[in-house]
Structure 1
Amino acid sequence: MDLSWLFAVAPTASVGQGTPYEAFGWAFLATASLLISAWIGSFTHPSKRITAVMLAFSAGLLISLLSYDLLEVAYETAGLVPALFGFFVGLCLFVLFNRLLQSRGVQRRCSVTHGGLRQESADDSAQTAGMSLVIGALIDGIPEAASIGISLLENRIVSLSVIISVAITNIPEGLASGAGLQRSGWRLKTILLMWGGVVLICSFTSLLSFVFLKGTGPILQGALIALAGGGVLAMTLQTVVPEAFEETHDMVSILGGSGFAIAFVLSRLLPH
């Protein structure tokens, strides 16, 4: 039986590599919405309903991003087996780190009432809580940022649909955390410094992904793109969809489907 199709790599047209500066810049552009929306949320205090609607829409964007800009690219780069392997590794890693995070008192990271914190004892310090939230944001954001840097290994310009999708999906988390953390007594300066640090770390993740993977082969590159996709899907199913469903109920399907459709159209129409 011929199984060579499992490792076959679809032909793609390369338009030249990007640069480390572009890897950093594109990731910064995509994740800066997290900082901006946290600032806006700190004084607008959006309702649970508004945040849930945005989360439901974001869920569709993320699933489309996973399907057409991560797994598809991973398959075209490395073939089916490396793509599936990386995908399931990404799923498992997110589940593992998310469990560790929950054990530190962080859950419902898109909550407008407490900003993601679950402080069950007086011993929970603000420093520990803040560090846990940063770790949670990095678990969510690093796979997306890494995929931006990796995509520039073969393309001069990263897919605009990826940038738009990542930027939009960061907005509800930023709005909710800005409002919730301020309600929990955090100073605005501390909130902005924390999320600004997350944006910089994600941007450097994209840069480092580009630099360290530049000399590697397509199998490793494709597997890591798929790993990012697995992390994105796990985040969507465990963090985004449950919190969106609590307020939107059946509408989560319509809103999520709309986000998916828009991202799909963007992935077909915008330059890659």
Structure 2
Amino acid sequence: MLEALLWGAIASSSLVLGAWLATLRRWSDAVVGMVLAFGAGALIAGVSFELAEAGVTEGGPVAVGVGLAAGALAYFFADRAVEQRSGRGGGGASGVPLAVGALLDGVPEQAVLGIGLATGDGVSLALLVAVFVSNLPESVGSSADMLGDGRSRRFVLLLWIGVAAVCTLAAVAGRAIAEVASPTLTGVVDGFAAGALLVMLVDAMISEARAKGGQVAGLATVVGFAAAAALSLLA
């Protein structure tokens, strides 16, 4: 359990680090856009190599498909609830939706890390690094948006500390339930994370990266994808 707690804390620590960096100074829209674009590319690689592909191998396409639908719907309705509560309409700021997305995809991602430890496969270094690297720009971009919308530094830091704590506990929970986790359930968990990520990427992260980073956001996305994909393939 302590091992799962340690790796879970390492993976989620970049969420708090990103929020802290965002509070140190005001980052330009161009920088935030590039950071978001790089993170989006890394997340796309994570979905492809560490979640969807691994989920199909472990639990089969049906399990991953069920998880994809559940994760996509969970993020969609959670985002709509946040939108209604905050009064955000249309494009709006992407800060809070990105935080919601980080929670919805972070929990199953961390659970997968914990399950891997329990089954003797060890922690996936590629997934660990991809989660850490992609969490950082996601947190920086989200925090910068929330600060720009008038949220206090205290609110932003506490929000991300809370998200990181929940994600860390998810790794411990994954380790605990691994005794009864079937390959099918693992495939569903992988699919859930992938579905939530994909909806969040299109609804918030990629659109915000393009709006703030301009035309070069696409290039930064490719760099992020290549970096994360290389880690997956090397592992």
Q: TM-score, normalised by structure 2?
A: 0.86
User: Residues of 1 paired with 2:208 and 2:146: CA distance?
Assistant: 17
Aligned with 1:163 (options 117, 128, 142): 128
Q: Identify the structure with bigger relative contact order (alpha carbons < 8 Å, sequence gap 6+).
A: 2
Map residues 195-214 of structure 1 onto 2, 5 A cutoff: 195-214=160-179
CA gap of 1:59–1:182, structure 2 versus 1, over 3 A, is closer
Q: Tell me which residue corresponds to 2:225.
A: 260
Matched, 1:216 2:197: no
- Cα displacement string for residues 114-133 of structure 1 (whole angstroms, at most 9, x for unaligned residues): 7836xxxxxxxxxxxxxx99
Equivalent residues, number: 233
Q: TM-score, normalised by structure 1?
A: 0.75
**RMSD of aligned residue pairs (Cα, Å):** 2.6
Matched, 1:60 2:41: yes
Larger Rg: 1
Q: What is the CA distance between 1:63 and its match in structure 2?
A: 0.8
- Structure 1 stretches (4+) deviating beyond 6 angstroms? none
* Greater displacement, 169-178 / 230-239: 169-178
User: Residues of 2 paired with 1:31 and 1:231: CA distance?
Assistant: 17
SS at match of 1:241: helix
Q: What is the CA distance between 1:35 and its match in structure 2?
A: 0.8
- Cα displacement string for residues 174-208 of structure 1 (whole angstroms, at most 9, x for unaligned residues): 32444455555655444333322221111001211
User: Residues of 2 paired with 1:172 and 1:135: CA distance?
Assistant: 15
The answer to whether the 8 Å contact 1:64/1:263 transfers is yes
CA gap of 1:62–1:206, structure 2 versus 1, over 3 A, is same
Q: What is the CA distance between 1:102 and its match in structure 2?
A: 1.2
Q: Tell me which residue corresponds to 2:195.
A: 230
Q: What is the CA distance between 1:221 and its match in structure 2?
A: 1.7
User: What 5-or-longer segments of structure 2 have no aligned partner?
Assistant: none
Map residues 126-205 of structure 1 onto 2, 5 A cutoff: 135=100, 137-182=102-147, 187-205=152-170
Structure showing the higher helix proportion among its residues: 2
CA gap of 1:82–1:59, structure 2 versus 1, over 3 A, is same
User: What 5-or-longer segments of structure 1 have no aligned partner?
Assistant: 1-19, 118-131
CA gap of 1:115–1:238, structure 2 versus 1, over 3 A, is closer
SS at match of 2:86: coil
Name the aligned partner's letter for residue 212 of structure 1. Answer: I
The answer to whether the 8 Å contact 1:91/1:230 transfers is yes
Map residues 26-41 of structure 1 onto 2, 5 A cutoff: 26-41=7-22
Q: Tell me which residue corresponds to 1:79.
A: 60
* Greater displacement, 177-186 / 153-162: 177-186
Name the aligned partner's letter for residue 226 of structure 1. Answer: G
CA gap of 1:182–1:224, structure 2 versus 1, over 3 A, is closer
Q: What is the CA distance between 1:264 and its match in structure 2?
A: 1.1
User: Residues of 1 paired with 2:76 and 2:213: CA distance?
Assistant: 25
CA gap of 1:85–1:194, structure 2 versus 1, over 3 A, is closer
Aligned with 2:70 (options 89, 96, 101): 89
The answer to whether the 8 Å contact 1:146/1:228 transfers is no
